[in-house]
Structure 1
């Protein structure tokens, strides 16, 4: 067995017995003006071949900075220090950019969080993967296509030959994620870094991605996992590091940390996870509507076609004031298309959308009685505008032109209502955290006093503690404003927490609808039971 030079001299263990990744006292600082700010301090861990270590913690805890340090992507203006930073026995400290390029892709594969942003929208999946194959020293010519198909098959993407010619925007979230994983596997790297690889994926697709990672581990690939989904961490990781403020507050075997957390911060993270066995919002949605509770909006026989493909098939739904209807189903089930029809952003191919009296009166006196909150608020904001300008534009739709002082007061009032400081009015969206951006998006939607708000995966990209804060905020604002919510989420624990009623879609058809308690605790439909069985749960 080959020994490293220093091991041979010291009679050390053979190379195969050494961890693939060895990190000791990693520290990363960023320059702020004339000072340095510590982003990561004193992080240490090992990852064996075929092993998985998970990094968990709130936004800004140092998870991604730690992972990117293994790729030399910690930033040109950053300062990195470590007692050891090794990959396969190679010292990564002090590598130059040219040397780092030989590590990326060949030695370390990086799976980013948002596949739609990470994949080039102007290139097909086949073109994207072909470039990854060539960049990592793979075969050229006609052999490239065979290698691309092999990678797609390994990533378990169905109909791989057909998908070669698809653009990212033509794929579902799960399909895009598999394509991104295939790209990361192009150089057959011994280490994969997966940064929130299951975010915004429904439970069944999430289960498939977990199975894929397990198969890669069984084949000897090491995995560094970053995730705010502690259920996924429980199913994949051998060890967990809990980071807060760039430092490790707790670490150990996954089962021990999640079952018997020793640190108050870890317990707080676990307490913030929405659970399927938690209390539902009640059975109000099942009660017969009274005179003051007439339907806000009714869908009857809604169908929607794109070309020859029917994505919504004869759906009937009723929304009531002050109540939340949760909408669930796999990727491609028609959830977002149906939501866009509710919001008036799409026209149904058949069927009828009927507004109740309350929504009709609101339309007569308000500019925007229905509002939409998107999954990624950053992409829906003008990056040139400040938060104050974004909110002021929404408020102008409701109140028209007002004196500057009055408008600024309204902006400050709405920032306060979503629990943000007034000073954020001068900031641009790019400088805000994910949770702050989502609060601004919610404030913008509610500032025009809508009667109905459609929310499409509004908390999927947030860590559990920020997610819990936003969910409490949504419930409070609904109570204060009386608005109805159509809430889409792949997270059934979130759906249980926020919804009065739940509707389940499959392939565009409505499979089941009822109170949150009935659908999520005593489902009648086999498909609903399959969705619930696929949920990655925390240990008891």
Structure 2
């Protein structure tokens, strides 16, 4: 029996189509992968099927969900089915988690109120869920105390807790390292093995391969290619699909090293922790103008904390950071892992960017120059942050940062929401910024191939061999980061 059938789903804004007719079906035990570049309409398709589109967007088409026949133009009909028959794993965990509720309680509440478990059983099941995702220690933490990858896993546990037979996973592994990515994929597939339905929306080629099943490739709101996932990935028939696969970081050329400029910052024997847990210690490195330092390590190992310490946003537990004299505080900038938390929600993106350009003495046409370099449509500037995709917002965050003309950038997972083609565009722009403007960059990524082909040097943060301590592997200053 087909679990879900969607016929001729379209989405329009003000009468202008942005998702052209898409039809799909979901069968018990067979996953469906929707693959495509950022802004291709993947998330819009999921929102139309769930009845959760923003108010300024209109859907048409028919959705058959079990015994329910639903009109995509009437989203109110979907609400009684949320959580119980169909659930979505959200792309932005910061928007789905209650900032005033601890992680364990959020999962417990879903088991209790949606699935209907008793209080004690709900607590026990929530603890089991978090433990399976490597989050047993995060039970009492608030969302702001979690790394981006940890917050994503809590959101996954909460979304699954209602017992829905069909799960739509919208970029469920962005921000996660390879090991955690595979764990989440295996968890989703384990639920599928019990006869459920799974629709995965992603630009992550490795995740698509691991999920398997069938695939639909989208581009600019249109279906480009369909077929078994393994066949599409191995022998794509369309040029766009071939380009998407070829843009994977493992196929990039290595970055040519350039002469180093003057030192921008020096870190000496840094140590830091969160929640009473030491994340790293005895880290020493220096970074010069024009150089890129890659920072890698598993989720929760302290990569974002290191950035906060380097930028002076958090004090170190030990050690010191010396920044180049004569540079204004605004010369040191952070590109946030979760840009949705960094933009005013109720102002248009164009107004926010114009204000930043004016504040830093940049001409308005610099925005117009950067938009095409980041693959962004100017129409996005008329929208609020909630009206663009996560990948588009991440690139807009980079655009906003470049308006400041920084001398140092801590780029915290700047491409975690981007498809391979757009990811390469963004990394190329960061490379050009380092080379042309002498900007020093610390680039955080879970992707070792991306870091290896982008950075001049690499700093690895890894779990310690004993206890619960996490200690960074220091890059030797003799190695010449400067």
TM-score by structure 2 length?
Answer: 0.86
Indicate which of 272, 278, 284 corresponds to 2:252.
Answer: 278
CA 1:259 to 1:395, structure 2 compared with 1: closer, same or farther past 3 Å?
A: same
8 Å CA contact 1:412–1:422 kept in 2: the answer is no
Equivalent residue of 2:416, what SS?
coil
What is residue 44 of structure 1 aligned with on the other side?
A: 23
Unaligned runs of 5+ in 1: 1-17, 400-406, 516-540
Cα distance between partner residues in 2 of 1:332 and 1:485: 21
Which range is displaced more, 195-204 or 63-72? 63-72
Cα distance between partner residues in 2 of 1:422 and 1:52: 32
> C-alpha displacement at 1:502, in angstroms?
1.1
Equivalent residue of 1:330, what SS?
coil
Equivalent residue of 1:194, what SS?
strand
CA 1:169 to 1:224, structure 2 compared with 1: closer, same or farther past 3 Å?
A: same
Indicate which of 318, 343, 350 corresponds to 1:350.
Answer: 318
Cα distance between partner residues in 2 of 1:425 and 1:221: 37
Within 5 A, what are the aligned runs for 1:434-453? 434=390, 437-453=393-409
What is residue 523 of structure 1 aligned with on the other side?
A: none
What is residue 360 of structure 1 aligned with on the other side?
A: 325
8 Å CA contact 1:375–1:456 kept in 2: the answer is yes
> C-alpha displacement at 1:150, in angstroms?
4.7
Within 5 A, what are the aligned runs for 1:129-144? 129-144=107-122
Cα distance between partner residues in 2 of 1:169 and 1:274: 31
> C-alpha displacement at 1:389, in angstroms?
5.4
**Would you say 1:325 and 2:303 are equivalent positions?**
no
What is residue 104 of structure 1 aligned with on the other side?
A: 82
> C-alpha displacement at 1:293, in angstroms?
4.0
**Would you say 1:419 and 2:399 are equivalent positions?**
no
Indicate which of 265, 281, 304 corresponds to 1:313.
Answer: 281
Unaligned runs of 5+ in 2: 464-469, 478-482
CA 1:393 to 1:186, structure 2 compared with 1: closer, same or farther past 3 Å?
A: closer
Which range is displaced more, 227-236 or 178-187? 178-187
What is residue 126 of structure 2 aligned with on the other side?
A: 148
**Would you say 1:92 and 2:70 are equivalent positions?**
yes
What is residue 2 of structure 2 aligned with on the other side?
A: 19
8 Å CA contact 2:252–2:453 kept in 1: the answer is yes
8 Å CA contact 2:283–2:474 kept in 1: the answer is no
**Would you say 1:505 and 2:461 are equivalent positions?**
yes
> C-alpha displacement at 1:227, in angstroms?
0.4
Indicate which of 48, 54, 57 corresponds to 2:33.
Answer: 54
> C-alpha displacement at 1:351, in angstroms?
1.3
TM-score by structure 1 length?
Answer: 0.77
> C-alpha displacement at 1:505, in angstroms?
0.6
Cα distance between partner residues in 2 of 1:270 and 1:338: 33
Which range is displaced more, 242-251 or 293-302? 293-302
Structure of larger gyration radius: 1
Cα distance between partner residues in 1 of 2:208 and 2:381: 38
**Would you say 1:340 and 2:323 are equivalent positions?**
no
RMSD: 3.1
Number of residue pairs matched?
Answer: 467
1:388-424 CA distances to partner (integer Å, 9 max, x unpaired)?
654565556655xxxxxxx6xx231354145369967
Cα distance between partner residues in 2 of 1:299 and 1:62: 43
1:330-363 CA distances to partner (integer Å, 9 max, x unpaired)?
11211111112222222222213234xxx324x2
> C-alpha displacement at 1:439, in angstroms?
4.4
Indicate which of 126, 141, 159 corresponds to 1:166.
Answer: 141
Within 5 A, what are the aligned runs for 1:198-213? 198-213=173-188
